[in-house]
Amino acid sequence: MTDPQGATAGRSRPALFARLIKVEHSVYALPFAYAGAFMAAGGLPSWSDLVWITVAMVGARSAAMALNRLIDAELDARNPRTATRELPSGLLRRGEVVVFTAASLGLLVLAAFNLSEPCRYLWPLPVAAFIAYPYTKRFTWACHYALGLTLGLAPAAAWVAVTGTAAWPAVLLFFAVGAWVGGFDAIYGIFDLETDRREGLHSLAAAFGPAGALGAAVVSHIVAVALLVAAGALVELGPVYYAGLVPVAALLAWSHLDIARRGLPEVGMGFMTTNGAVGLVYGLVAVVATLV
């Protein structure tokens, strides 16, 4: 067995916390937050709004991931795939993560009070979602979409942060991200199928088998692209936006074709990299389309 304390000594605390929250997975939400902000502003938002939206996203995502790790620590310890995570392995202590979570939430609240007035009162809503999501796998296979809609708050919240109001494009972006993330999380859940069944946890794969989860992911991603098209239409974005959606749809299609061709065990976590590219490409497309 590895020595957790020795392993800790070989890593800096910032590196351990960065790994705890999987900072590289910011590509799944941050580009959509910027897309929501630029679409709401009809171009470049104020630099103040952009800075505070970024601060809010850093705080929100850090708190969400830390809460997930705290809530699921015992489950993670019994899952061979997750047993080496920072809390189950002892690389980080629970008290440290609690303090980190509180600091992250403080960052979110600070940002909320520097954005539009409704943000001062609405910040508890995403926090409630961060707490609720980890529990959904304990009672419903729709847990993937609970995660998706939690991340879908990013573009919707950014819209409110810029305009002070909600609007139908923000709602469509909310559901588009929910469908997109829910789809690839359904695929991700296949890797934990045996553990989920043993622990009595729920997922699309556990309920309908791997083929059912893959089928649901295909439908989810078709819905996501359709919603992105509709959001662009409501904001009256031009040809640049729709041309940019072509590589977004192509990346999603490639992910599914690759799994069908080689099989998920061979593809491994490569489909997550492809979906990270989806977020980056869409964010770039939406920003550019509002500026031209």
**What are the chain's domains?**
4-34+44-291 (1.10.357.140)
- What's the mean pLDDT when you consider all of the chain? 94
What pLDDT, on the 0 to 100 scale, is given for residue 8?
44
Return the higher-pLDDT residue of 21 and 108. Answer: 108
The H or E element spanning position 213 is helix 204-235
The predicted model gives 269-289 an average pLDDT of 94
Reported for 84-90, long-range contacts at CB under 8 A and 24+ positions apart, including other chains, are 85/20, 86/16, 86/19, 86/20, 87/20, 89/2, 89/4, 89/7, 90/4, 90/5, 90/8
Report how far residue 104's alpha carbon sits from residue 2's, in angstroms, rounded to the nearest whole number: 30
User: Taking the model in full, what pTM does it have?
Assistant: 0.93
Q: For residues 33 and 71, what is the distance between their CA atoms, to the nearest angstrom? A: 26
Contact 266, 189 (CB under 8 A): no
In the predicted model, is pLDDT for residue 215 greater than 60?
Answer: yes
226-262 residue pLDDT tens: 999 999 999 999 999 999 999 999 999 999 999 999 9
23 — pLDDT class (breaks 50, 70, 90): confident
Q: What is the pLDDT of residue 145?
A: 98
Q: For the purposes of burial, counting CB atoms within 10 Å of the CB of 40, is it exposed (0-12), middle (13-18) or buried (19 or more)? A: buried
Q: How many CB atoms lie within 10 A of CB 291?
A: 11
Residue 164: pLDDT over 90: yes
% of the chain at pLDDT higher than 90: 90
Surface-to-core class of residue 195, CB atoms within 10 Å of its CB (0-12 exposed, 13-18 middle, 19+ buried): middle
Query: Residue 97's pLDDT band (boundaries 50, 70, 90)?
Result: very high
The CA–CA distances, whole Å, from 18 to 63, 103, 223, 235 equal 12, 14, 32, 36
**Per-residue pLDDT, 99:** 97
